[in-house]
A = this chain, B = another copy of it.
Amino acid sequence: MPTDIEIAQAATLQKILPLAHRKLGLPEDSLSPYGHYKAKLSLGQVQSLADEPDGHLILVTAISPTPPGEGKTTTTVGLGDGLNQIGKKAIICLREPSLGPCFGMKGGAAGGGRAQVLPMEDINLHFTGDFHAIALAHNLLAALIDNHIHHGNALDLDVRRITWRRVVDMNDRALRDITVGLGGPGNGFPRQDGFDIVVASEVMAIFCLATSLADLQRRLGHIVVGYTRDKQAVTARDLQADGAMTALLKDALAPNLVQTLEGTLAFVHGGPFANIAHGCNSVIATQTALKLADYVVTEAGFGADLGAEKFIDIKCRKAGLQPACAVLVATVRALKFHGGGDDIAALTEGLANLRRHVENICQHYELPVVVSINRFDSDTPEEIAQIEAACKALGVVCVLATHWAEGGVGAAELARQVVALCEALPRKPAARLYADEDTLELKIRTVATKVYRADGVIFEPRAAQQLAEWQAAGWGHFPVCIAKTPYSFSSDASWRGAASGHTLRVRELRLNAGAEFVVAICGDVMTMPGLPKRPAALNIGVDEAGRISGLF
């Protein structure tokens, strides 16, 4: 099997404007081309679709993953191609990859094997510049904060209580903790600061939840950047930053359209972190796709305890989306990992993790589910049979998917099962694990007990104080976004399988008043990755014809 980049570079792409016109009926002048194979759909065209009926929304999620991931993106792409293979009109919605990790360990994030979105190198590098625009909008606000303080600090911002950091789309550990404003009075007031990676920016989360330019500006204005010396919140609007930030983001907000290896259209737009943010592509892209296709396949971050929960409780709740069903991706590798070994006994043991996720999806997210085994060459028939038997006992369909090796044909059976579920059940609003009016504390406890199966939640003193303050300050109606390890149902990454009876310990909260959720941090959360000893960057090159090598 050739590598991902070899497959991608050998592909013959179709020009995106005529492709989108032919397949989706989009007028070519509603699309702004970025090269011949990427385009942005104008926000005017997005708005003009508002009264069209919605297609079926299918969420691809996964069991608790191993560090390399279990193939959610390839399954999303493969299922989209598979739906088209069986004659359905389907669109894919994916997150944009972050550029930073390409130079570290991760390699590309545009699918893999025969299930990729193209042009692979562009999508993994600068793409249409959305992340650059988000970084600049974020950093403009940061510059305006320090500039305001330098020029008299009329708002009385407390330099010890500025919560707005800076961002760069790079894995750069040296920037995690820094001091700025050194060098004398001409350079402003010295203070502690730091950089996060762009995908961790609240601007990214806002961008992905905004429904229009006006909503984007409203949310940007609500960002809390810090506090005065008497602890009053100061917002981006107080600094008059929201207009210029929106201007920087106006082109970026139009969703990006590309194609898969098989010519299925895909929106690849926005990409917030899945721990301190909700980990889903933009609401604008998903809503638009639903107007243009009968089936829309999208993914959420990490496993179904984290990604799918945030998809339901943040994205669907806020955007009024009605998901039709879920695909739960599992691999033999991950199931054995959860069973703590590498034989069939470990696999049997590890199936507890799959069972738990199926239960959660059916009971708490109220979605019908298909289990999709992402087939590896090393899987044995006995292993597959074991998983199939477990699913049968659960009363859910289990499909073997081979899109990685075979493309859409390898996901045709998965596509048929998904269509059967979508057609069998009436549309209904998305589930809600908790009500808007529940307190922030109750919301966290609800997710912890229902989804993570914790016995209880401990709020460390700082978190308890923040809960009380923000509840009182009028932010209690926000959903919660829990940041914990994706490798376990508990907050202990080494507790594999189906942890229960544990205690969730909330260390601190973060207020995202613009994105409109409160983040509860359990354990360490890294918002600026580092590079490994031998970064992937060292192998990346480009020949005189402009052909990139070393991206994988």
Contacts and interface: CB of A to CB of B under 8 A. Distances in A.
A10 interface: no
A246 to B, nearest CB: 5
A252 to B, nearest CB: 8
B170 A140 contact: yes
Interface stretch (A176-184, A312-320, A426-434, A498-506): A176-184
A150 B530 contact: yes
A550 B241 CA distance: 13
A335 B491 CA distance: 72
Contacts of A213: 542-544, 546
Given A129-B129, A179-B182, A533-B151, A143 B174 contact: yes
A482 to B, nearest CB: 24
A43 interface: yes
A107 interface: no
A180 B188 contact: no
Interface stretch (A29-37, A358-366, A379-387, A458-466): A29-37
A247 B177 contact: no
Interface string A511-552: 000000000000000000011110101111111111010110
Interface in A92-142: 99, 103, 122, 125-126, 129, 132-133, 136, 139-140, 142
Interface string A16-44: 00000000000001001111100000011
Interface in A138-188: 139-140, 142-144, 146-147, 150-152, 166, 168-183, 186-188
A251 interface: yes
A180 B182 contact: no
A427 to B, nearest CB: 30
B140 A537 contact: yes
A80 to B, nearest CB: 26
A212 interface: yes
Given A173-B188, A247-B551, 17 more contacts: A33-B33, A33-B35, A103-B140, A122-B251, A126-B129, A126-B136, A126-B248, A126-B251, A132-B132, A140-B537, A142-B172, A147-B530, A175-B180, A177-B183, A179-B182, A243-B538, A251-B546
Interface of A: 29, 32-36, 43-44, 99, 103, 122, 125-126, 129, 132-133, 136, 139-140, 142-144, 146-147, 150-152, 166, 168-183, 186-188, 193, 212-214, 217, 240-241, 243-244, 246-248, 250-251, 530-533, 535, 537-546, 548, 550-551
**Closest 10 pairs between A and B when the two form their complex, measured CB to CB:** A177-B183, A243-B541, A132-B132, A146-B174, A244-B540, A244-B537, A177-B182, A143-B172, A240-B538, A151-B533
24 contacts: A32-B36, A33-B35, A126-B251, A129-B129, A136-B169, A143-B170, A143-B531, A146-B174, A147-B173, A147-B530, A150-B530, A151-B532, A151-B533, A176-B183, A177-B182, A178-B178, A186-B530, A212-B544, A243-B537, A243-B538, A243-B539, A243-B540, A247-B550, A250-B542
